[in-house]
Amino acid sequence: MADDPRELTLYVQSKRAVTTFYRPPAVTAAGSVGVAPVGVTSAPATDGAAAIADSPVFFLSDDQSRCVAMAEELAARRGYHLRVVDVEKVGRLERLITEHLRGVQTFPVLISPLGTRLEGVDQFTEENLAATMPTELKCVRAFSYLKIRGGDLDRIRRLLETFPEVRELHFLTGDWDMMVVLEFPPSAANKRRVLDFVTDRIRGIHEVLDTSTVVPEYSVTKFLSS
């Protein structure tokens, strides 16, 4: 694998087509040289200038092209470098051996810096690509544990859901009754603001008896940014 911890390699397998299509020049009645209509053939020139040579052309299926486009888009957004290799052009057998791709059945194949891989068109979803390319969160998240007195849990849930800062609610068993995932824009968020929100807004709900909030110093996500 590459030394760059943010470089990924995407292997695709194109189809090789050989075309021998050629439209030789046609000689008009006046003796000038023109282009023969499609489907009209004529003998090649004796000097060999009009000789037909095989011309290899490589075609990538739309399914694989879509996978490449998705991977390139997400890599650009998350600061990764994507190297695309066509195994048909570089020698498939040699590439499979040198890059440790033995056993590959379907393409494309995306290899992460840690050696994990996505194989086949069906694996190329935005969720899987994001998990392969984790990145720093663009927002500030916090996790607040709530102790709640007996009451209407549906009402409490509805109240919490009205706050834009509340992104997830998880009901628990044990010392705490609920965990709330909070999210704040990075430009206006700090630990003090997070705690102010919890004490003023969440603890302002009558049924909330106590809270304990964790504000991470640094966060990385494997999920798509919201």
Asked if residue 116 and residue 144 are part of one domain, the reply reads: no
Would you report the helix, strand and coil content of the chain in percent, each value rounded to 5? 25, 30, 45
Asked if residue 155 and residue 67 are part of one domain, the reply reads: no
Asked if residue 150 and residue 41 are part of one domain, the reply reads: no
Q: 164 lies in a domain?
A: yes
Q: What are the distances in angstroms from CA 57 to CA 17, 49, 68, 88, 182? A: 5, 22, 19, 11, 53
The domain total for the chain is 2
Among 18-22, 76-80, 100-104, name the most confident range.
76-80
Q: What is the Cβ-side half-sphere exposure of residue 163, based on CA atoms within 13 angstroms?
A: 23
Asked if residue 119 and residue 20 are part of one domain, the reply reads: yes
Asked if residue 8 and residue 118 are part of one domain, the reply reads: yes
pLDDT at 20: 62
Asked if residue 144 and residue 108 are part of one domain, the reply reads: no
Asked if residue 72 and residue 18 are part of one domain, the reply reads: yes
- Give the domain extent around 156: 136-221
Q: Which residue has the higher pLDDT, 88 or 67?
A: 67
Instruction: Read off the pLDDT of residues 144-158 as tens digits, 9 standing for 90 and up.
Output: 999 998 877 889 999
φ, ψ at 105 (rounded to 5°): -105, -35
Residue 191: which H helix or E strand, with range?
Answer: helix 191-197
The answer to whether residue 102 scores a pLDDT higher than 60 is: yes
Kindly give the pairing relationship between strand 178-184 and strand 166-171: antiparallel
- Mean pLDDT throughout 56-66? 91
Asked if residue 99 and residue 2 are part of one domain, the reply reads: yes
Cα Rg of the chain, angstroms: 30
State the average pLDDT for the chain.
83
Q: 104 lies in a domain?
A: yes
% pLDDT > 70, the chain? 77
CATH number of the domain bearing residue 196: 3.30.70.920
Q: How far apart are CA 53 and CA 51, in angstroms?
A: 6
Asked if residue 205 and residue 159 are part of one domain, the reply reads: yes
- In one-letter notation, the amino acid at residue 158 is R
Domain C-terminal end among 87, 107, 133: 133
pLDDT at 25: 60
This prediction's pTM: 0.68
- In one-letter notation, the amino acid at residue 87 is V
Q: 226 lies in a domain?
A: no
176 pLDDT band, cuts 50/70/90, is very high
Q: Which residue has the higher pLDDT, 102 or 217?
A: 217
Asked if residue 143 and residue 124 are part of one domain, the reply reads: no
Among 7-11, 30-34, 43-47, 135-139, name the most confident range.
7-11
pLDDT at 90: 81
114 pLDDT band, cuts 50/70/90, is confident
- For 31-164, where are the alpha helices, taking DSSP H only? 62-78, 87-90, 92-98, 126-132, 153-161
